Amino acid sequence: MKRVLLAGFGVLLLVAAAACAAVAFAPFQAHMTLRRLALRLGGVRRVRAGPLLAYERNTCRPGAACRCVALVHGMGDSAMTWDKTLLGLGGASVPPEGTLLLAVDLPGTDGSPAAADYGLRAQARVLRGALETRCPEWTVAGNSLGGWISTWLAVDWPKGVSLLVLINAAGLSDPSGLTLEAAKTLSTPTVPELKLFNARAYGSPRPIPERAWKPAVDAILARPTREIFEAFREEDVVESRLKDVRAEATIIWGSADRVLPAEFAERFARGLRGARVVRVAGCGHLPQQECPESLSRVLFEAKR
């Protein structure tokens, strides 16, 4: 028995040593692997929702009321950005019973099939096709470009979107040029450009090992960022259509965001009937990663 225990302990040491080596020599890949493992161990399933792949956490019971919440990532990002929300980590509230969370990978991202048209309204139609397979009515939360797509979804599918949550969302006309600059950077990023973007995106950027930057750039380039950038059209700007959104709306804005103009929060609120603004001090462009507790309070509170 002692020999078996010692052998088992030795195996654990070897596994731990291998994990440490992976983190040391391939920190980005190891980090992503550990995040995927945490999702799996936390009861989050990788599923197909209509035309898209997604991460799903479902605490609804057959025959009981179920609140469906869709999470939509931004340009160059993926559904993995919502891991803290899905798992209740980093201070985020644990998703309550009777909630279905669906974090989608948009077309061409991390296994979701490529799109024939990467225009934002076209992507909203694909997103609708995914959500309709699960629930007839949704709370839809979108970050950055995901907020832009979510707004078009609310315009074109009023019966399907009951609450729209825009998280440092793009989609408005921008004389400052910040939106165009961010999209251009993410369309074909280099390591120096991604470092600058990261510094502007986070209120308190964490140190990242130098060897992790190139794999991070490669991950973005493997997604359809260039196709999305090239598909941008003037008519995609959603400002003039905000009045057509019937859903209740909440705008969450990380006040330390230097990727998009801070004025977007108030402009969205003026255009969306009855919208409220929740500002998160010290938080940057990605509240779901940097300030998940503030986001979860909005997502999981009782619907007004």
Which residue in 254, 241, 238, 261 sits closest to 298, CA to CA?
254
Q: Tens of pLDDT along 40-89?
A: 999 999 999 999 999 999 999 998 999 999 999 999 999 999 999 999 99
Give pLDDT tens digits for 23-45.
444 678 898 899 999 999 999 99
In this predicted model, what pLDDT tens digit does every residue of 191-229 receive, in sequence order?
999 999 999 999 999 899 999 999 999 999 999 999 999
Classified as helix, coil or strand, 151 is helix
CATH topology of domain 53-300: Rossmann fold (3.40.50)
Mean of pLDDT over the chain: 91
In terms of Cα–Cα distance, which of 124, 82, 85, 83 is closest to 107?
Answer: 124
CB 167 within 8 A of CB 141: yes
Residue 182 in 3-state DSSP? helix
Q: What is residue 236's DSSP assignment?
A: G
Enumerate the domain spans of the chain.
Answer: 53-300
Whether the per-residue pLDDT at 13 is higher than 70: the answer is no
